Amino acid sequence: MAEYNTISETDFHFPGQTGVYKGKVRDVYFTDDYIILIATDRISAFDHILPRAIPAKGQILTKMAAYFLEKTASDVPNWFIASPDPNVTIGKKCQAYKIEVVVRNYLTGHAWRTYKAGERTLCGVTLPDGLKENQKFDHPIITPSTKADEGHDMDISREKIIETGLVSEQEYTIIEQYALRLFGIGTSMAAERGLILVDTKYEFGKDKDGNILLIDEVHTPDSSRYFYADDYQERFAQGLPPRQLSKEFVREWLIAHGFQGQEDQIMPVMSDTFVHEITERYLELCRIITGEEPPFNSEPPAERMLRNVTNWLLVH
């Protein structure tokens, strides 16, 4: 990969801009009609932004998100309009629901850590005793979380979402249907490429006409976990961890270095080797899923993004 200038933060003023929101990984700019989502090279885990940006991460996420949004648009309506820059997605302006819809088909990651601690109810879903780490469920389950503007996202049940008015029952039923449909499509697409879609999160919003749309990204390494399918069963039977492509290995590295996002814990130092490994993991998944790599535009990113987005806005 050519020399790459990482993007840790942005500060743009686009034509017609009405606001901006800085998330953990993405910087989101608003106009009256559009959302301009910029995928930076920041990486987060345990609701903390890690100290070093990951080269090319934003371009990889943008490419994969556009790929899946275009592939699934006929099955679930989404916000995507265009990607005029390797780091930028432009979509319909929506009012986001304050929840993340997490679909899981295996007991791993956060679900396993909760289960191992003795909990048998996860987001209102009751799990049986005797399950093992990385075991497949009988069917996919939905385990939502709140979408916090600051601080930690929190597990929440379907019942609590409706009771507190975060989402109406009618709308949440549609969201559940959309999430399971997307997960089914993602599972099939992964299987065709020798992967298992283990779990993922989806976000939804409502456009000005009242339509519920899939927003943000879909089935990327930031939002999803994948196992390699070829040796999953063998390794599970032997009690070995599956080979996987996801951000979970970053969380595992942090845990091994004594960090899980608690107040008294210090973020470990990320070596050049580890940063490079993260880029390579993201790249590998992109190659497998899309069959190609992002263009890796190494032009100074701030000027490039400003020019490309401005030009797009001026003709739309």
Q: What is the mean pLDDT of residues 80-102?
A: 96
pLDDT at 1 over 80: no
CB 219 within 8 A of CB 200: yes
pLDDT at 72 over 70: yes
Would you place residue 293 in the very low, low, confident or very high pLDDT band (cuts 50, 70, 90)?
A: confident
Q: How far apart are CA 230 and CA 243, in angstroms?
A: 10
Give bridge partners of residue 245 from the DSSP assignment. 226
Read off the pLDDT of residues 14-61 as tens digits, 9 standing for 90 and up: 999 999 999 889 999 999 999 999 999 999 988 889 999 999 999 999
pLDDT at 158 over 70: yes
Q: What is the mean pLDDT of residues 126-133?
A: 97
Query: Using N-to-C axis directions, what is the helix angle for 57-72 and 272-290, rounded to 10°?
Result: 20
- Window from 10-14, 145-149, 190-194 with minimum mean pLDDT: 145-149
Architecture of domain 96-249: 2-Layer Sandwich (3.30)
CB atoms closer than 10 angstroms to residue 301? 22
Report the percent of the chain where pLDDT is more than 90.
83
pLDDT at 299 over 60: yes
pLDDT at 11 over 80: yes
Average pLDDT, the chain: 93
pLDDT at 98 over 50: yes
Q: How far apart are CA 281 and CA 156, in angstroms?
A: 31
- Window from 91-105, 176-190, 262-276 with minimum mean pLDDT: 262-276
At 121, the amino acid letter reads T
Please indicate whether residue 253 or residue 5 has the higher confidence score (pLDDT). Answer: 253
Cβ partners under 8 Å of residue 132, min gap 6:
107, 236, 239
Read off the pLDDT of residues 169-228 as tens digits, 9 standing for 90 and up: 999 999 999 999 999 999 999 999 999 999 999 999 999 999 999 999 999 988 999 999
Domain-by-domain residue ranges, the chain? 19-94+269-314, 96-249
Give 19-94+269-314's CATH code, choosing from 2.40.50.100, 3.30.200.20, 3.40.1440.10, 3.40.109.10.
3.30.200.20
Same fold, 19-94+269-314 and 96-249: no
